Amino acid sequence: MKPDALTQAALLELQCSWPIVDKARHFELDSLLSCALIDMIGPDKIGDLGLHHAGCWECDLAENVLTWSGGVFDIFGLPRNTVISREEAAGFYAEESRAAMERLRSYAIRHKRGFTLDAEICPATGGRRSMRLVAYPVVQDGRTVRLHGLKMII
């Protein structure tokens, strides 16, 4: 890795990651629509709100399996309950955002830290949109076993 790239990577980790004790401050759940509410109301009933909502997600690290609420499917322009691999989901990220997300993900797993990233995605419906990704590690017996968090249109 070139020195400039190494410096940029270190800055990314420093600027975007946060200790797990800060979880409540970064999730800001009180300012988001409930993921359960979004799941109950289909995209056809949400209307323009569908372009501005959030969803919950989780990745089981042992199996590398994703679980998404309906809001995340909507953000990515996919029919709800679509079976999607983590690799396929990462393919929706614009190249620079995907590289940053993968780096922060590895750092979060290794150092048991959450992170927040504003990313550019290319939803299945076409175009581009900006999305905030908030991730938090679930640690059991000193090991990160899952990542979970929020994705929201910004």
- In the chain, where the domains are located: 3-153
- Answer yes or no: CATH 3.20.20.60 is held by domain 3-153: no
Closest CA to 71 of 105, 34, 16: 34
DSSP, collapsed to helix, strand or coil, labels residue 143 as strand
Using 50, 70 and 90 to split pLDDT, how confident is the model at 81? Answer: confident
Using 50, 70 and 90 to split pLDDT, how confident is the model at 75? Answer: very high
pLDDT of 9 over the 70 cut: no
Average pLDDT in the 99-112 region? Answer: 95
- Whether the full predicted model's pTM is greater than 0.85, yes or no, is no
CA pair distance 127, 62, nearest whole angstrom: 33
Q: 120: which strand partners?
A: 130
